[in-house]
Amino acid sequence: MNGDPIEGIFRRLYSVALYVLVPITVYHLIWRGFRQREYFQRWNERYASYATAPQSAPVWVHAVSVGEVSAAAPLVNALRRERPDLRLVITTITPTGSERVRSLWGDTVEHVYLPYDLPGAVGRFLDHFQPRLALILETELWPNLLFGCRDRGIPAYVLNARLSERSLRGYRVLAPLMKRALRTLCCISAQSAADGERFRKLGGVPERIFETGNLKYDVAVADDVEEFVASFRESAGALRRVWIAASTHDGEEDAAMAMHRHLRQRWPDTLMLWAPRHPERFRAVAQSAIEAGWRVATRRLTRWPDASDDVFVIDTLGELSNFYACAEVAFVGGSLQPIGGHNLLEPAAAGTAIVTGPHLHNFSEIAAKLHDAGALRIAADADAVSADLEALLEDASARATMTLAGRALVDQGRGALARTMALIAPDLPV
């Protein structure tokens, strides 16, 4: 425990508030469980109660959900390649993040849910896995967790760090505590200069904040993607127009169906690939498409769409990048509602023209770069998205220009992985 009496007071107040809220965490798990049954499972991990004996995992990586796991993937793959002797434990918070970890690395890494930021749970987690290095992705700033690492002498880094203006305002409610928690970090590796500046405003030590770029630019394109696309086209039909509605949310699903209805008025054989953001929506969107009168296939049931299918639901995780490559145009969801958008670099790397709605605050810098490069069209609403999709499906030259610009921007942005690996090298366990 640090000797700062002010820190001690704030930590105690914060922890007491969390303990008072424990019944709400249980209610939250139950409520989410009715929507996604995986939330009913593995509650012991949420409170750091483990059936197995303690075993050391020298490197701990935390990535809250699917997007952060995807950002962490280049880093984890590099660590496994360069230091195969190091056992890794990867934590997530969501079941979808957990499933993504398993789909990428199977049993070659340890995976558990991150416990709630209760002092007892944090202590049990750190004592069980005994990490010697903590690598936290993006914006997961849990005070007791950071203090727990410092008190045990565990070097902690926040990598691929991003902090929106909205998040900055939210964290300022705990400003005195957050400032002290950020001082425990060895380094904050920020995605951009703007992110770095916001971390400084929150209380990060300026000398420990570095702009390294976004790990998502180091996205890997599958070696067999051309074979994947060829198999898709052989089954679905080589000459059909194909578009993808990716990472859509509940409130965007009606809009996605309206877009498809509009496009099929122009080209009746148009195929829609549909990848809902959350697995609990897989069945619902398939049923919605059936009720709309379309013939529907799914990845799990049929593997590929055939020439008579109208909608193909991608009800698996880990394959979105390959399916982006199968589509001529992509609508990336989370952008018609104030959710803030989702990863735009994945379709850019896959060579797909991209259209979004206006709400992109979680990826504002990347969106601005893609838009300025001519690789992204940002529409004002669902009707405008539909019009952009139609225009791009009509104009092969415009699509080609956008895909070339997107791939060039991704290639120019690569390098965050090398810079990140260099930053953490001094603290990698020997």
| Residues involved in catalysis | 68
The residues with which 158 forms a beta bridge, in sequence order, are 136, 188
Contact 356, 385 (CB under 8 A): yes
Measured in degrees and rounded to the nearest 5, phi and psi for residue 384 equal -70, -35
H helices, E strands: number in the chain = 20, 14
d(CA 277, CA 406): 22
DSSP type of residue 53: P
Closest CA to 159 of 133, 181, 178: 133
Q: Which strands make up the sheet holding 376-378, listed edge to edge?
A: 296-298, 311-313, 271-276, 242-248, 329-332, 353-356, 376-378
Q: Which two tokens stand for residue 205?
A: 């030590």
> Where in 325-393 does DSSP place strands (E)?
329-332, 353-356, 376-378
Single-letter residue type at 62: H
271-276 vs 296-298, strand pairing mode: unpaired
Q: Where are the alpha helices (DSSP H) in 3-65?
A: 5-20, 22-35, 43-46
- Residues sharing a CB contact under 8 Å with residue 300, sequence separation 6 or more, in sequence order: 315, 316
* CA 417 from centre of chain: 17
| Beta strands across the sheet bearing 133-137 | 110-113, 88-92, 59-62, 133-137, 156-161, 187-190, 209-211
Helix then strand then coil, % of the chain, to nearest 5 = 55, 15, 30
Q: Are the C-beta atoms of residues 330 and 402 closer than 8 Å to each other?
A: no
